[in-house]
Amino acid sequence: MPQEIDVSLVHVTKKFGDLVAVDDVSFEVPKGSFFSILGPSGSGKTTVLRMIAGFETPTSGDIYIGGERVNDVPPNKRRCNMVFQRLALFPMMDVLGNVTFGLRRRGGMSKAEMERLARKALERVGLQGLGRRKINQISGGQQQRVALARSLVLDPTVLLLDEPLGSLDLKLRQDMKLELKHLQARMGTTFVYITHDQTIALAMSDTIAVINRGKIEQIASPEELYRRPATHFVASFVGENNKLEGGRLVRMRDAQVCEVDFGGILMSGRMGEPLSPGDTVDLFIRPEMISLRPGRHENGFPGKIEEINFDGSHSLIVVNLLEGRAPITINVKLQHTEQAPEVAAGDLVTLSWRWDAANAFRSPTGKEA
């Protein structure tokens, strides 16, 4: 059975004068999914969202919502609603006034019916009984929920979220993150969420599109994105990584695995993109995928612990590799489990990792270390 698609962008480009903000972007958002667009500030993600909402018109390409081409449909006629970055709640109305605003515009409904729907929406986001409060009388977290209720009450095909959690403090953000995910699962509404915060994107999304300089770098599930980044940018942007720069690709073991020479040390890794011998490559290794054994061992890379940074559930251990012509520093994330080895600064250790914990990409600078 083919999946139903709620939003699709087909070769969409947006220029502001000479500046190409969005460059030939295409993607599809399946019905009922939580879709995130992840990118650094200035990557064009906001422009993509604003084009879906209808506040910007694509320079070329088409946008479809619920199968209908909406390029020429104004924002007030599109069946998608937006939760704004700074929420944009109307201070001249109370909470209920905000939530019924869209229903009142739509008309054809009694006042009592509108209020019933609005109260139901407020209940759904856990704000029952606050309908008569002024916007400046409720907390930041409650404001987030009002903004959600205000859009959800209209039962949109797609809900667009412009990084609304960004303004909250860390603890509240963690709570809201889970709540938002549960709400989405419960309602089955398609969410398109843009953010520069990869922890939020990884935790909430079914699918993530990573965007950089107006171009889509990769569209994948969070796990795929994390384990098998498709580009150099994704590898450095998503999650923590050790980035070993300027190695020379010596040979390919098979279609997937290559061996890279870093000043005399040979490391193997997954090829993130097609590479050939002689290429200058950077190798990305996840700190938590590295195993650390005290003492010197046959398989693996010998090193000396430079410093240990305690961080509660784990420690970040900085290790200098012993062999090789140039100094190489690798961070290792060590979980504090019962089996975790006891180590101290200055200890000799051996590091090892599976080949697929390391991803190799062509170095953008091309300079060998």
Partner 1 sequence: MFAASNSQKSLSRWLFYAYILLILVFTLGPLVIVTILAFNNNPSASFPWQGFTLDWFKSSTPDRVGLFDDARMMAAVVSSVKVAVAVTLISVILGVNNAFLFVREKFVGKEFLYMLMLGPLVVPGVVLGTSILAFSHGIANALDSALGNGAGTFLRPGFWLVVLGQVSFVATTTTLVITARLKRFDLSLEEAAMDLGATRSAAVLHVTLRFLGPAIFGAAIIAFLFSFENFNTTYFLSGPDPTVPIILYSRLRFGISPEINAVSVLMMVTTGLLGLAASAFQKEEGLA
Partner 2 sequence: MHLSTRFRRGQRLWLLLLPTLLWIGLLFVLPHIKLFLLSFMDRRSGAFTLANYAAFFNSSLYRNVFVRTTTFSIVTTLLTLFISFPAAFIITKVLGRKMKALALIAIVLPYWVSELIQAFTWMILFRETGVLSYLLQYLGITHHNIEFLYHNSTIVVGLVYTSLLFMTIPIINSLDTLDDSLIEAAYDLGGDFWSTMREIIIPHAAPGIMVGSIMVFMLNLGNYVTVTLLGGKNSLWFTESIYNQFIVRFNQNQGAAFGVILLTFSVLFVWIVLKITKQDLTEAM
204 contacts 34 by C-beta, under 8 angstroms: yes
- Of residues 293-332, those binding partner 2 (CB under 8 A): none
- Of residues 76-105, those binding partner 1 (CB under 8 A): 76-77
Q: Which residues of 275-294 are buried (b: 16+ CB within 10 A; e: fewer)?
A: beeebbbbbbbbbebbebee
30 versus 75: smaller Cβ distance to partner 2? 75
The token duo for 284 is 């990305």
66 versus 222: smaller Cβ distance to partner 2? 66
- Rounded distance, CA 276 to CA 214, Å? 28
58 versus 222: smaller Cβ distance to partner 2? 58
Binds partner 1 by CB under 8 A, chosen from 3, 26, 57, 335: 57
Binds partner 2 by CB under 8 A, chosen from 82, 260, 319, 328: 82
Instruction: Examine residue 136 and tell whether it contacts partner 2 (CB under 8 A).
Output: no
Query: Hey, how many other C-beta atoms are within 10 angstroms of the C-beta on 324?
Result: 15
Nearest-approach distance from CB 178 to partner 1, in angstroms: 35
Give me the phi and psi of 207, to 5 degrees please.
Answer: -135, 140
State the number of binding residues for partner 1 (CB under 8 A): 8
- Of residues 15-44, those binding partner 1 (CB under 8 A): none
Q: What is the CA radius of gyration of the chain?
A: 25
**Residue 57 site contact among partner 1, partner 2, none (CB < 5 to 8 Å, cut-off depends on kind):** partner 1
Query: Rounded to the nearest 5 degrees, what angle is found at the Cα of 102, between the Cα atoms of 98 and 106?
Result: 150
Contacts of 292 (CB under 8 A, 6+ apart): 317, 319, 332, 334, 341, 343, 349, 350, 351
Instruction: Examine residue 102 and tell whether it contacts partner 2 (CB under 8 A).
Output: yes
Site residues (vs partner 1, CB under 8 A): 54-55, 57, 72, 74-77
Contact residues for partner 2, defined by CB under 8 A = 53-55, 74-77, 81-82, 84-86, 88-93, 101-102, 105-106, 150-151, 154
